[in-house]
Amino acid sequence: MAILDILNYPDPRLHTVAKPVKEVNAAVHRLIDDMAETMYAAPGIGLAATQVDQHVQLLLVDTSETKDQLQVFINPKILERDGEQVYEEGCLSVPGVYESVTRAEKILVEALGKDGKRFTLEAHGLLSVCIQHEMDHLQGKVFVEYLSPLKRNRIKNKMLKQQRGK
Protein backbone atom coordinates (compact mmCIF):
# COMPACT_ATOMS: atom_id res chain seq x y z
CA MET A 1 0.00 0.00 0.00
CA ALA A 2 1.04 3.58 -0.55
CA ILE A 3 -0.03 7.05 0.50
CA LEU A 4 -1.05 8.94 -2.63
CA ASP A 5 -0.76 12.67 -3.30
CA ILE A 6 -4.06 14.51 -2.90
CA LEU A 7 -4.77 17.22 -5.48
CA ASN A 8 -5.43 20.64 -3.99
CA TYR A 9 -8.04 23.09 -5.21
CA PRO A 10 -7.93 24.89 -7.66
CA ASP A 11 -5.99 22.18 -9.55
CA PRO A 12 -7.82 21.79 -12.89
CA ARG A 13 -7.59 17.99 -12.66
CA LEU A 14 -10.21 18.17 -9.89
CA HIS A 15 -12.70 19.16 -12.62
CA THR A 16 -12.16 15.97 -14.64
CA VAL A 17 -15.29 13.83 -14.95
CA ALA A 18 -14.50 10.25 -13.89
CA LYS A 19 -15.13 7.30 -16.18
CA PRO A 20 -16.92 4.14 -15.01
CA VAL A 21 -14.80 1.28 -13.71
CA LYS A 22 -15.00 -1.43 -16.39
CA GLU A 23 -13.81 -4.34 -14.25
CA VAL A 24 -13.19 -4.78 -10.54
CA ASN A 25 -9.74 -6.34 -10.75
CA ALA A 26 -6.38 -6.38 -8.93
CA ALA A 27 -5.52 -2.85 -10.10
CA VAL A 28 -8.81 -1.51 -8.69
CA HIS A 29 -8.21 -3.38 -5.41
CA ARG A 30 -4.71 -1.85 -5.20
CA LEU A 31 -6.17 1.62 -5.82
CA ILE A 32 -8.80 1.02 -3.10
CA ASP A 33 -6.10 -0.04 -0.62
CA ASP A 34 -3.89 2.95 -1.48
CA MET A 35 -6.84 5.35 -1.27
CA ALA A 36 -7.87 3.92 2.11
CA GLU A 37 -4.36 4.37 3.48
CA THR A 38 -4.30 7.91 2.08
CA MET A 39 -7.72 8.83 3.49
CA TYR A 40 -6.97 7.52 6.99
CA ALA A 41 -3.53 9.19 7.05
CA ALA A 42 -4.92 12.58 5.94
CA PRO A 43 -7.14 12.11 8.15
CA GLY A 44 -10.45 12.19 6.31
CA ILE A 45 -13.84 10.50 6.23
CA GLY A 46 -14.15 10.25 2.45
CA LEU A 47 -11.99 10.22 -0.65
CA ALA A 48 -12.81 10.09 -4.35
CA ALA A 49 -10.39 8.68 -6.92
CA THR A 50 -10.44 12.05 -8.69
CA GLN A 51 -8.72 13.60 -5.67
CA VAL A 52 -5.71 11.33 -6.16
CA ASP A 53 -5.61 11.98 -9.92
CA GLN A 54 -7.28 8.68 -10.85
CA HIS A 55 -10.31 9.53 -12.92
CA VAL A 56 -12.48 6.47 -12.36
CA GLN A 57 -15.81 6.25 -10.53
CA LEU A 58 -14.54 5.05 -7.19
CA LEU A 59 -15.02 6.56 -3.75
CA LEU A 60 -14.36 5.51 -0.17
CA VAL A 61 -16.18 6.57 2.98
CA ASP A 62 -15.68 5.83 6.67
CA THR A 63 -17.72 8.03 9.00
CA SER A 64 -17.20 5.78 12.04
CA GLU A 65 -15.47 7.05 15.17
CA THR A 66 -13.24 3.96 15.19
CA LYS A 67 -12.15 4.31 11.53
CA ASP A 68 -12.69 0.62 10.87
CA GLN A 69 -15.87 0.64 8.76
CA LEU A 70 -14.57 1.41 5.29
CA GLN A 71 -17.28 1.52 2.64
CA VAL A 72 -16.33 1.22 -1.05
CA PHE A 73 -18.54 2.58 -3.82
CA ILE A 74 -17.63 1.72 -7.42
CA ASN A 75 -19.70 3.33 -10.20
CA PRO A 76 -22.12 4.86 -7.65
CA LYS A 77 -25.51 6.26 -8.66
CA ILE A 78 -28.00 8.09 -6.49
CA LEU A 79 -31.42 6.55 -7.11
CA GLU A 80 -33.44 8.70 -4.70
CA ARG A 81 -33.00 11.90 -2.70
CA ASP A 82 -35.22 13.07 0.13
CA GLY A 83 -35.27 16.01 2.50
CA GLU A 84 -32.67 18.68 2.98
CA GLN A 85 -29.88 19.32 5.45
CA VAL A 86 -27.18 21.92 5.86
CA TYR A 87 -23.82 20.57 6.89
CA GLU A 88 -20.49 22.24 7.53
CA GLU A 89 -18.26 20.48 5.02
CA GLY A 90 -14.53 20.27 4.64
CA CYS A 91 -12.46 18.57 1.96
CA LEU A 92 -9.03 16.98 1.79
CA SER A 93 -8.50 18.87 -1.49
CA VAL A 94 -9.35 22.21 0.19
CA PRO A 95 -7.48 21.86 3.51
CA GLY A 96 -8.47 24.14 6.37
CA VAL A 97 -11.67 25.38 4.70
CA TYR A 98 -15.09 24.56 6.17
CA GLU A 99 -18.32 25.94 4.76
CA SER A 100 -22.03 25.16 5.02
CA VAL A 101 -23.53 23.28 2.07
CA THR A 102 -27.14 22.18 1.55
CA ARG A 103 -27.62 18.58 0.44
CA ALA A 104 -30.26 15.85 0.56
CA GLU A 105 -30.82 14.48 4.07
CA LYS A 106 -31.46 10.95 2.84
CA ILE A 107 -30.27 9.19 -0.31
CA LEU A 108 -30.60 5.77 -1.82
CA VAL A 109 -27.35 4.90 -3.57
CA GLU A 110 -26.51 1.93 -5.78
CA ALA A 111 -22.93 0.87 -6.46
CA LEU A 112 -20.56 -2.03 -6.75
CA GLY A 113 -18.62 -3.02 -3.65
CA LYS A 114 -14.97 -4.02 -3.45
CA ASP A 115 -16.10 -7.57 -4.26
CA GLY A 116 -17.63 -6.33 -7.55
CA LYS A 117 -21.17 -7.15 -6.39
CA ARG A 118 -23.97 -4.60 -6.78
CA PHE A 119 -25.61 -3.25 -3.61
CA THR A 120 -27.98 -0.48 -2.57
CA LEU A 121 -27.67 1.56 0.60
CA GLU A 122 -29.97 4.08 2.24
CA ALA A 123 -27.81 6.78 3.81
CA HIS A 124 -28.83 9.54 6.25
CA GLY A 125 -27.08 12.45 7.93
CA LEU A 126 -23.29 12.58 7.76
CA LEU A 127 -23.01 9.43 5.63
CA SER A 128 -25.45 10.90 3.11
CA VAL A 129 -23.49 14.18 3.01
CA CYS A 130 -20.18 12.38 2.61
CA ILE A 131 -21.37 10.17 -0.27
CA GLN A 132 -22.88 13.17 -2.09
CA HIS A 133 -19.69 15.21 -1.54
CA GLU A 134 -17.47 12.44 -2.93
CA MET A 135 -19.83 11.76 -5.84
CA ASP A 136 -19.52 15.45 -6.76
CA HIS A 137 -15.76 14.89 -7.11
CA LEU A 138 -16.45 12.12 -9.61
CA GLN A 139 -18.44 14.66 -11.64
CA GLY A 140 -15.58 17.17 -11.50
CA LYS A 141 -17.21 19.36 -8.86
CA VAL A 142 -15.59 20.63 -5.64
CA PHE A 143 -17.80 21.63 -2.69
CA VAL A 144 -16.70 25.27 -2.87
CA GLU A 145 -18.67 25.52 -6.12
CA TYR A 146 -21.85 25.55 -3.99
CA LEU A 147 -20.66 28.82 -2.44
CA SER A 148 -21.08 32.36 -3.70
CA PRO A 149 -18.57 33.52 -6.33
CA LEU A 150 -17.08 35.92 -3.76
CA LYS A 151 -16.45 33.18 -1.17
CA ARG A 152 -15.19 30.80 -3.86
CA ASN A 153 -12.70 33.41 -5.12
CA ARG A 154 -11.46 34.12 -1.59
CA ILE A 155 -10.88 30.39 -1.03
CA LYS A 156 -9.19 30.00 -4.41
CA ASN A 157 -6.82 32.91 -3.68
CA LYS A 158 -6.10 31.56 -0.18
CA MET A 159 -5.27 28.12 -1.60
CA LEU A 160 -3.04 29.56 -4.36
CA LYS A 161 -1.20 31.66 -1.78
CA GLN A 162 -0.66 28.60 0.44
CA GLN A 163 0.62 26.57 -2.53
CA ARG A 164 3.10 29.32 -3.48
CA GLY A 165 4.31 29.38 0.12
CA LYS A 166 5.36 25.72 0.02
Answer yes or no: is 55 a known binding residue. Answer: no
> Taking a C-beta distance cutoff of 8 angstroms, is the pair 54, 137 a contact?
no
Q: Could you list the active site residues?
A: 134
CA distance linking residue 22 with residue 107, whole number of Å: 25
How many beta carbons lie within 10 A of that of residue 95, not counting itself? 14
Structural element, H or E, at residue 102: strand 94-103
Answer yes or no: is 133 a known binding residue. Answer: yes
76-90 burial, b for 16+ CB within 10 Å, e for fewer? bebeeeeeeeebebe
Answer yes or no: is 137 a known binding residue. Answer: yes
In 42-148, which residue ranges form alpha helices assigned H by DSSP? 125-138
CA distance linking residue 75 with residue 87, whole number of Å: 25
DSSP secondary structure code for residue 105 in this structure: S
Binding-site residue ranges for Fe cation: 91, 133, 137
